Chain A
Amino acid sequence: MPKLTIWFIRSAVACLITSLMIGVALALGTVFQLPPIFSTLRPTFFHLFMFGWVTQLIFGVAFWLFPKFSKTQPRGNEVLWWITFWGLNIGLLLRVISEPLYVLNSWIDWGWSLAFSAILQWIAVICFVYNAWQRVKGKGH
C-alpha cells in the first residue's frame, strides 16, 4: 500500500471517530440541556462523515488500486494528489472550527474563513477528478 494511501486512510479514520463523537454529542442534546454550540454541529458531523470518512477512503483506495497512468508516472501527478490530501484535510478542519463559531456570531468574522475552507476543499476535489479521470481506462489503453 503506497504511503499516500496510508495517510488518506488514517486521516479518514480520524474523521470517522471525530464525526461519531460529535454524533454522540448531538444525540445527548436530545436528552440533556447542552450549550448552544452543540446545536450548530449537525453540518459538521455530516461532512466529517461523508467527506472526511467516505470520500477520503475512496480517494486513498483509488490512488492505490486504479489502473496505472503510465510507466514513469504510475499514479498520475503525485503533486496534485498531495494537494488533494492537504486541501481536503486543511479545508475540512477549517470548516469544523469556523462553522460553529460563525453561526454563534463570535467577535471575529468567521465567514471569510468558511469561504476559504470551501475553496480549499473544492481545489482538493478538482485535483482528484483530474488525476482519477486519467487513470480510468481499460486493458491495453
Chain B
Amino acid sequence: MPTLSRRFIQCALIHFAIGSTLGGLILIDKGIPQIYPLRQFLPAHTELMFFGWVMQMIFGVAFWIFPRSQGRRKNPEYAWITFGLLNVGLLTFASGLNLIGRILELLSVLSFIKLIWQRAKPFEVAKSLRNR
C-alpha cells in the first residue's frame, strides 16, 4: 500500500473514531437529555462521517487499487494536494467556517477526479501500457 493511501486511510480512521464518538454522545444525549446539550455537534458529526470517513477511505483505496500506467502511480506529489485540501476543508467546515470548508472540499474532489480519471480503464489497457 503506497504512503499516500496509508495517510488517507489513517486519517479516515481517526475521523471515523472522532465522528462516531460525537455521534454516540449525541444519541446518548437524545435518550438521556439531562447531559450537556450535544446536538449542536451534529454538523461536525455528519461532516466527519461523510467527508472524513467514507470519502477519504474511498480516495485512499482508489489511489491504491486502481490500474496503474506503466507500473506506477502517476503524480504522487499532486495527489498530496488532494489529501491536504480534503482534510483542511473538512476541518474548516466542522469548525464552523462553512463556505471556505466547502470550497476546499470541492477543490479536493476536482483534483481527485483529475488524478484518478486516467486510471479508470479496463485491465487490458492497463496491462498493455505496463508492457510498453
Q: Hey, which bits of chain A sit against chain B, CB under 8 A?
A: 50, 54-55, 58, 67, 95, 98-99, 102, 110-115, 117-119, 121-122, 125-126, 128-129, 132-133, 136-139
Contact = CB atoms under 8 A, between A and B. Distances in A.
A137 B6 CA distance: 7
B20 interface: yes
Contacts of B30: 99, 102, 111, 114
In the A-B complex, list the 6 residue pairs whose CB atoms are closest, starting with the nearest.
A114-B31, A111-B31, A118-B27, A122-B24, A125-B20, A115-B31
B15 to A, nearest CB: 10
Contacts, number: 70
Main secondary structure of the interface of B (DSSP, over half): helix
21 contacts: A54-B54, A95-B27, A111-B30, A111-B33, A114-B30, A115-B31, A117-B27, A118-B24, A119-B28, A121-B20, A122-B21, A125-B17, A125-B20, A126-B17, A126-B20, A128-B16, A129-B17, A132-B9, A132-B13, A136-B6, A136-B9
Interface residues of B, number: 25
A119 B54 contact: no
Nearest to B27: A118
B31 to A, nearest CB: 3
Instruction: Tell which of B2, B3, B24, B30 has the most Cβ of chain A within 10 Å.
Output: B24
Most buried by A among B9, B24, B31, B49: B31
A137 B2 CA distance: 8
